[in-house]
Amino acid sequence: MTLVIAHRGGLGEARENSIEAFEQAIGAGADMVEFDVRRTLDGELIVFHDERCGGIRISEWTSVGVRSICGFSPTTLAEVVQTAGPTVGMDVELKEAGYELEALRHLAQFRRSGLVITSFRSEVVNAVGRIDHGCLRGLSVGARSQSLLAIDDALVATASHLVAHRSLVNRALLLGAQAAGLTLLVWTVNRRSDLVRILAEPLIGGVITDRPERALRIRDPD
């Protein structure tokens, strides 16, 4: 069964990457929630997608400063773990290198099949593997990547998962990932026609979507 993974908690009334968004995704029946982690200047791990806020990098602001410039208090990794960890799987994307150990400490009690650490940075995936070889970890690749090269990059990064942009999904990618022993996750799939196609493919392990309720209706029709 292809897992439905709520991208930043999914699009809804709640702010993305917020506790409310994750609670809505859990309530809808999503198998996993996906979210982004960054570290502030004073060392707090927050759930935040963009590199900058107010024109300055998040890494150059303290947690108090981030709250001030963004106009809201970003969710912390600890808060998401407390909310989501016991009840739903987590796809935790580390946006930068350097705080892999800290993130793993927060997530240590949930190291199971429902937890995967992902990143677009191969050095992050490698670092996670060195710290905790048993942790599932995925290399994310964008639309400009080439399917077979992406598989090679994932293997070099010692990844267990390949997180591929939806435009890369073709037979070569599906069969290549399977042959390499990589679990394939696909992002970000929202259109009904694309969801139907992706969810019908048994070689895809999970679909990351802003529309988890739509995906669940397609996968699990009444």
For the chain, domain boundaries: 3-35+89-219
pLDDT of the chain, 222 residues: tens digit per residue: 999 999 999 998 899 999 999 999 999 999 999 999 999 999 999 999 999 998 989 999 999 999 999 989 999 999 999 998 778 999 999 999 999 999 999 998 776 668 999 999 999 999 999 999 999 999 999 998 888 899 999 999 999 999 999 999 999 999 999 999 999 999 999 999 999 999 999 999 999 999 999 999 999 997
pLDDT value at residue 112: 64
In this prediction the pTM is 0.96
Instruction: State in words which class domain 3-35+89-219 has.
Output: alpha beta
Place of tokens 């992002």: 187
Burial 40-76 (b: 16+ CB within 10 A, else e): beeebbbbbeeeebeeeebeebebebbeeebeeebbb
H helix intervals, the chain = 19-28, 63-70, 77-84, 100-107, 122-131, 147-156, 171-180, 192-199, 212-219
Integer Cα distance of 170 and 71 in angstroms: 42
pLDDT of residue 221: 92
Q: CB-based burial of residue 220 (10 Å sphere; 0-12 exposed, 13-18 middle, 19+ buried)?
A: exposed
DSSP assigned state of 127: H
152: which 2 tokens? 């090679």
Distance CA 17, CA 34 (A): 8
